[in-house]
Structure 1
Amino acid sequence: MAQTLDGQTVLVVGGAKNLGLAIATRAAELGAHVVIGARDGDAAVTAAAGLENARGISIDITDESSIAAAAAELGGVDHIVATAAAHHNVPVTALDHDKVVTAFEAKVIGPLMLAKHFAPAMPATGSIVLFSGVAAWKPAPGKAIMGITNGAVSFAVSHLAKELAPIRVNAISPGIIDSGTWDGMPESDRAALFDGVAGSIPARRVGTTADIVDAATWLLTAGFVSGETIHVEGGARSA
């Protein structure tokens, strides 16, 4: 399948860093006009300045009025990629109500609001790509909210694909990815984590940014794929 996004507008919410920025970069390389959306509008503008034919805009995925304002400003876009997350990894007995709500806003409610405000102006060939995660299929103590919200994303794309058709809606479910997210850990701890994961899954390595970017750009151009969750996790679900 030839991958080209020539003349199309791709909005990447959460595109100012890590996986979001890598996806935005690839989209620009494929000829898209890229809009980087982030809660920090200045960070979005700075990230966009490093790309060709790109701009930054302030979008807070947890604030519907911010999403509505962005939709009004941008008008129609061809594709939306939403990478935002708000983790709350604690035991159930330590859950904080507001942080639970924020986690659902970032992963589920916010993307629903993106669909509400952007889909009416999207073309029939448009698509939305959301992010789930392997935690939904690998229950673990202290990871209930991550697992539940990621699982909800998978159900959301099935329902949105039906209701928004022919606009395509899909999700990527990554495993452990060396994307920059883990860079805050001490190097020895990070290496131990990656080695442990690599030794426990069939692929025998952790994922790379390119693995996710390849999946995202494929979904943006795969015109006969909708309602699907694409697992990019090296076989972690079976480990």
Structure 2
Amino acid sequence: MNIDLTGARVLVIGASGGIGNAAADAFAAAGAEVFRPSRGELDFTDDASVAAWFAGADAFDHVVIAAAQTRTGTVAGLALEDAQAAMNSKFFGAYRVAKIVQINQGGSLTFVSGFLSQRPSPASVLQGAINAALEALARGLALEKAPVRVNTVSPGLVDTPLYAGMSPDDRQAMFERAAARLPARRPGKPQDIASAILFVATNPFATGSTVTVDGGGTIAS
């Protein structure tokens, strides 16, 4: 499918690496003018920063929110302040942007959640809850913001800089274990998720949807 976005204005929040960067590159390859604010320019966990950045911004045709900083852990083991910070980042960061951003009619807003919303882990209960809340937010916004379309793309395990803190051997072992378990027989790549983001952003009949791109992780035993 040939997608031509020449002249379109696209905002990608979280484009410094991983999925966000791949999504920004995909939009740019389709001819769009892509805006990639750094966290220093736009801190979406801060009301004042969000208000200041968007005060000088014209309307966009497509907006993607792929940024989040969350600590993981069990409910019993994760400090409440860390849990609140995670919710403030991934959920309320998206909420702040959705509240203030101007999107042209027929345009789109896309969130990035994660398959833990459908396949919870005892070690990452909060992440699953945040992802589920984000997906519910998108469904509601699809009604509130119509005819602007609002969707969510839900990735599984993706090889991104998120795992850069692991040793190379541990990281490789983790991906090999995942590949053996997943029906797709490999972990995801940022470009896999970016193609799904581009799809929901440009498909005029896609709204209120959650598109899971997880290599079969949700259904794997």
Which stretch shows the higher mean deviation, 26-35 or 95-104? 95-104
Where does 1:88-99 land on structure 2 (aligned, <5 Å)?
88-99=71-82
Query: Which of 83, 94, 105 is 2:88 aligned to?
Result: 105
2:125 and 2:74 map into 1 onto residues whose CA distance is 8
The answer for the alignment partner of 1:151 in structure 2 is 132
Tell me if structure 2 keeps the 8 A contact 1:88–1:145: no
Tell me if structure 1 keeps the 8 A contact 2:70–2:89: no
Query: Which of 70, 80, 100 is 2:63 aligned to?
Result: 80
Query: Which of 226, 230, 236 is 2:207 aligned to?
Result: 226
Gaps of 5+ in 2: none
Deviation (angstroms), 1:139: 1.8
Where does 1:174-213 land on structure 2 (aligned, <5 Å)?
174-213=155-194
Tell me if structure 2 keeps the 8 A contact 1:172–1:216: yes
Bigger proportion of residues as helix: 1
TM-score between the two structures when normalised by the length of structure 2: 0.95
1:92 and 1:108 map into 2 onto residues whose CA distance is 17
1:214 and 1:184 map into 2 onto residues whose CA distance is 26
Tell me if structure 2 keeps the 8 A contact 1:61–1:105: no
1:183 and 1:88 map into 2 onto residues whose CA distance is 15
Count of residue correspondences: 220
Instruction: Percent identity, please.
Output: 35
The CA deviation string for residues 102-145 of structure 1, in whole angstroms up to 9 with x for no partner, is: 21122211111111111xx3211111110110112222222011
The answer for the alignment partner of 1:48 in structure 2 is none
Provide runs of 4+ in structure 1 moved above 2 Å: none
SS in 2 for 1:177: coil
TM-score between the two structures when normalised by the length of structure 1: 0.88
One-letter code of the match for 1:169? V
How big is the alpha-carbon RMSD for the aligned residues of Structure 1 and Structure 2? 1.3
Greater relative CO (CA pairs within 8 A, separation 6+): 2
Which stretch shows the higher mean deviation, 192-201 or 133-142? 133-142
Q: Does 1:235 align with 2:191?
A: no
